[in-house]
Structure 1
Amino acid sequence: MSMPAGWYDDGSGRQRWWDGAQWTDDYAPVQGAGSAQPAAEAPAPAASAPVTSAPAATSRPSPVLGFVGLGLAVLGTVLACIPAVFGLGMVVLLAGFVVSLIGLFKKNAPKWPSIVGMIVSVVGGVIGAIVLVVSLVANLPSPIDTAPATNAPPSTSAEPSDPPTGESDSRPSPEEIAEGFAATIRAGGITTYDDMPEFYPCVGQYLYDSELSDDALRLIMAGGDPPEAERETAEKAIGNAVLTCDPQASDPSPQP
């Protein structure tokens, strides 16, 4: 019958721990010289045995929501920087922000992915809005580039600045003004408004209703410069006509 675990004399005069099956390397402390060692001791209670306690393993939940929100924030930032899909990018950024916010309140999970996801969502939205505004401003047509008053080619007439002679004294019709203005624009190499069927009739009607004289309108129709006294007025009228009749113009309100 095997002896129970406890401290016993191993034959060398010292107390040694018996684990119930074999001797271990644990020895009891040596007592003073005057004390007598018992030949054998009763089995010690199990609580006196050396026990090595291992720390309980603690596990923290994985921050899945934080990483998902961070991924959505990065994807939304990329999409928001593309003007064609800016709206979709903003939706993805909003989803990334909400998911990151939910992950921030998950107990015992690391918080840094959620915090980074929220920051990236906000910064991505700002960057995407800036890129969209810059893209829109860069694509707006410049009124200076489309104004034919200063960039119109020289007229083929021998004396473009002289008032026409032998012509009718009546005011040109809006259709005649539109045709002459269109011919002048196309002669300058500008074909932007050929796809806008209402543009030239609108310009013709606008110039017809302006304060320009009949002679100034005929000169503009012929591609020449209006009289010196009406040159500034003609430039403003043409510029306002282009801005009013072009639906893609940046400021369609007439200039003062």
Structure 2
Amino acid sequence: MSIPAGWYDDGSGRQRWWDGARWTDYYAPAPDAGSPQPLANPQALSAPVASAPATSAPPPGSRPTPVLGYIGLGLAVLGAVLACIPVLFGLGVVLLLAGFVVSLIGLLKKGAAKWPAIVGMIFSVIGGAIGTVVLVVSLLANVPPPIDTAPATSAPTPSAEPSTGASDSRPSPEEIAEEFAATIRAGGITTYDDKPDFFPCVGQYLYDSELSDEALRLVIVGYDPPESERATAEKAITNAVLTCDPQPLDPEPEP
């Protein structure tokens, strides 16, 4: 008659698991002093201790340690930390992938606890997403601003109004003649240089014209007068030239 599997005293005072055929390597924790002791089976004491195999089944209720789950979780945590450092993003991604694969294998292992493998897989996915966001933000922050290749063009500086004297009153005929002569010569016209009476005559004519002081000062230095006096200015200049030089120059003889 075979002895049923159970805990028995192997003769050393400790409870040892008997699998029904031989002794195993599993020992029960030492019981408290006040707890009842299981009765020793006299026949079990005669069982040979040396014949206990190392591959006997574990006692009921015990589960193996989820080693792969813990390894996958550790790889996922380390990979997430490294992935959040832009310069180590590539190494972090490799560790995250390794942690995910190891956690998946640990999840498929029968008999072991599943929670470390599940946490490792979740941490791998979340760590990869966070690391990607950190890398994108870091790259965008370091992008240099676009260089403006358009040629720099300086805004034209408006010409300053010419100084027409410290006084705001109407310029004298002499001043008008002098300014008008300078303006004509600046335009390349030297026709009247041999007529000494021309410019004084023009100065007196414009002085006596209906032009306002402001318009007169603008006209003699070559600027356009106000729109309201433009026609009057053109008429005054034309009449002044025709009055002061009624005889046009003789045309050059044909060769």
Higher relative contact order (CA 8 A, sep 6+): 1
**TM-score between both structures, scaled by the size of structure 2:** 0.36
